[in-house]
Amino acid sequence: MSGEENTYFLRAFEALGVTEDRRRGRSDSQPTAGFKAIMHEAAQTRSYAAALSSSSWQSGSISTGPPARRSRCRTTLVHAEWIRLHDNSDFRGFVDFLRAESDRVGPAEADLCRDFFRRAVALELSFFEAAYAERT
């Protein structure tokens, strides 16, 4: 993480009234535990390609989708800030760099990359589904 995104979650927790005690007292959701595990697994491979493939940046995000879809999600300042952090030319440039790196190093480890990518996308979908279920 870099820049403002580094502290986004702390600001979001504060805006939502989620105390540090509450955060520490709650165990990780299945998707969060899964993300931690897959990133640890990718690091253990010592493969740059696996590390790139295990990152959720590749699967896209509601923050970088079509404007009509994004506008439906601007329901709170927390959502608006997340979108602002990810829907700008600097972030898109960073994602373009990561994609170019994946294109450069991924083919040599295609099966490994495919496996990590598919699992990371499944975890991201699971994360959003769980977050949506909590809100309804």
In this predicted model, what pLDDT tens digit does every residue of 94-117 receive, in sequence order? 888 988 999 999 999 999 999 999
In contact, 11 and 19? CB cutoff 8 Å: no
Residues 80-98: pLDDT tens digits? Answer: 887 788 788 888 888 889 8
Q: How large is the average pLDDT for residues 19-36?
A: 91
- Domain 5-135 carries which CATH code? 1.20.910.10
Secondary structure class of 52 (helix, strand, coil) = helix
Give the relative orientation of helices 77-86 and 5-16 as an angle to the nearest 10 degrees: 170
Q: Does 7 have pLDDT greater than 90?
A: no
Would you tell me the crossing angle of helices 110-135 and 30-45 to the nearest 10 degrees? 160
Per-domain residue ranges of the chain? 5-135
Q: Express each pLDDT in 40-84 by its tens digit.
A: 999 999 999 999 998 866 555 544 555 545 555 545 677 788 778
What distance in Å separates the CA atoms of residue 108 and residue 49, rounded to the nearest whole number? 9
Determine contact, residues 117/47, Cβ cutoff 8 Å: no
How many C-beta atoms surround the C-beta of residue 60 within 10 A? 12
With beta carbons less than 8 A apart as the criterion, state whether 53 and 106 touch: yes
Report yes or no on whether pTM surpasses 0.85: no
What integer is the mean pLDDT of 122-136?
79
